Amino acid sequence: MKAWQVNEWCEPEGMTLAEVELPEPGAREIRIRNRAAALNFFDILLVQGKYQARPPFPFTPGSEVAGIIDRVGSDVRHFAPGDHVQAMVSMCGYAEYSLAHEHRVFHIPDSMSFPEAAAMPVIYQTSYLALKDRGGLRAGEWLLVHAAAGGVGSSAVQIGKATGARVIATVGSDEKLEFCLAQGADFALNYSDEKWADEVKRITDGHGADVIYDPVGGDIFDQSTRCIANEGRLIVIGFAGGRIPTIAANRILLKNISIVGCYWGGYVERHTEYAAKAQAELIRMYEAKQIKPVVSREYPLAQAPAAMRALAERKITGKVVLTME
């Protein structure tokens, strides 16, 4: 089978499309003939050697796939060859076939396309965990979502609206404002304007944001502490902006705020039952038309470096997906 491989830390263009041996599933594993694989920003960091995980060489990036089950391991009970599924995989997504543990494989409804299905698992699970469990978002609260035009940000906007929150979205360019409003945001701001935090306070009549969803870090995190509400929760999703921020503890004390981490991968490793429960609720939301993965661009598998470059240059709204025949 064909698979993209990383043989040294590099830019996406340094990856190699190689012919590799077809993997055999273990006892509780499922082999999927991929029809689509979604890209995430952390894939780029992983290839560059800048992510918190540093796998041994060679490895294949990619954590979200959708396709048709080709073979199941001996102890798999709830899936069979021919099933249409989406799955979260461990660094084997940019390939014609992937292996996944059965507790990270989910049936997809007939109404869901393979590109949509591939674009859903990691980002929607991350936002669900962040907003429902880690942040405790409640109906009527103000939710501030940074980088809201990206895959993970747009999923947070949609889940926030499904929860009944009032949503303020921020993006890095005016061109993306309308996209955020189309996903359900009540307000959209450009955080290139240094006064965006003041605008959040104005929109909320001085109350501030009850929950802040931050996959950016850096200066955006720093400014978020200026517009968070008393007893607010600032959820740390990642550091796409590059700088890992810090905060003076007196700011946490004086406003009774919580700084909450949301590392989805580590959480589901320790709570193996969580992913299936969360996905069942997300599929319910999808079928109720409360959420819908946005696939803005598709590339064939052979063009994975170009797809990653488009994502790295922030040219994308929603998700980028690789497709396989």
**CATH code, 48:** 3.90.180.10
Distance CA 46, CA 42 (A): 6
Q: Which of 56, 12, 74 is nearest to 305 (CA)?
A: 12
- Residue 241: pLDDT band by 50, 70, 90 thresholds? confident
Q: Tell me, what's the pLDDT at 41?
A: 87
Tokens representing 249 are: 């503890």
Distance CA 234, CA 208 (A): 12
Distances in Å between the alpha carbon of 85 and those of 31, 34, 113, 123, 264?
A: 11, 10, 10, 16, 21
The answer on 148 and 36 residing in a single domain is: no
The answer on 254 and 298 residing in a single domain is: no
Q: Tell me, what's the pLDDT at 5?
A: 97
Residue 176 confidence (pLDDT) above 90: yes
Is position 116 within any domain? Answer: yes
The answer on 74 and 203 residing in a single domain is: no
Provide the total of helices (H) and of strands (E) in the chain, helices listed first. Answer: 11, 15
Is position 278 within any domain? Answer: no
The answer on 147 and 258 residing in a single domain is: yes
Q: What is the CA radius of gyration of the chain?
A: 20
Chain segment 51-82, per-residue pLDDT in tens = 878 999 999 999 999 999 999 999 999 999 99
The answer on 308 and 247 residing in a single domain is: no
- Residue 260: pLDDT band by 50, 70, 90 thresholds? very high
- Which residue range is the domain that position 183 belongs to? 126-265
Is position 15 within any domain? Answer: yes
Is position 281 within any domain? Answer: no
Chain segment 307-323, per-residue pLDDT in tens = 999 998 877 888 999 99
- Residue 24: pLDDT band by 50, 70, 90 thresholds? very high
Distance CA 20, CA 206 (A): 58
The answer on 193 and 135 residing in a single domain is: yes
The answer on 145 and 250 residing in a single domain is: yes
Is position 70 within any domain? Answer: yes
- Please tell me which residue, 12 or 317, carries the higher pLDDT value: 12
Is position 223 within any domain? Answer: yes
CA atoms within 13 A of residue 164's CA, in its CB half-sphere: 4
| 0.85 surpassed by pTM | yes
Helix axes 274-287, 121-128, angle to 10 degrees: 100
Give the domain CATH number at 238. 3.40.50.720
The answer on 133 and 201 residing in a single domain is: yes
Q: Tell me, what's the pLDDT at 269?
A: 87
The answer on 136 and 101 residing in a single domain is: no
Most confident of 158-167, 187-196, 271-280: 158-167
The answer on 27 and 7 residing in a single domain is: yes
Q: Give the total number of structural domains in the chain.
A: 2
Is position 6 within any domain? Answer: yes
The answer on 138 and 84 residing in a single domain is: no
The answer on 116 and 130 residing in a single domain is: no
Distance CA 158, CA 293 (A): 9
Burial (CB count <10 Å: 0-12, 13-18, 19+), residue 117: buried
Tokens representing 268 are: 């589901």
With tokens 């450009």, the residue in question is: 190
Residue 141 confidence (pLDDT) above 90: yes
Q: Tell me, what's the pLDDT at 71?
A: 97
Q: What is the residue-averaged pLDDT of the chain? A: 95
Is position 286 within any domain? Answer: no
Chain segment 37-54, per-residue pLDDT in tens = 999 988 998 999 988 789
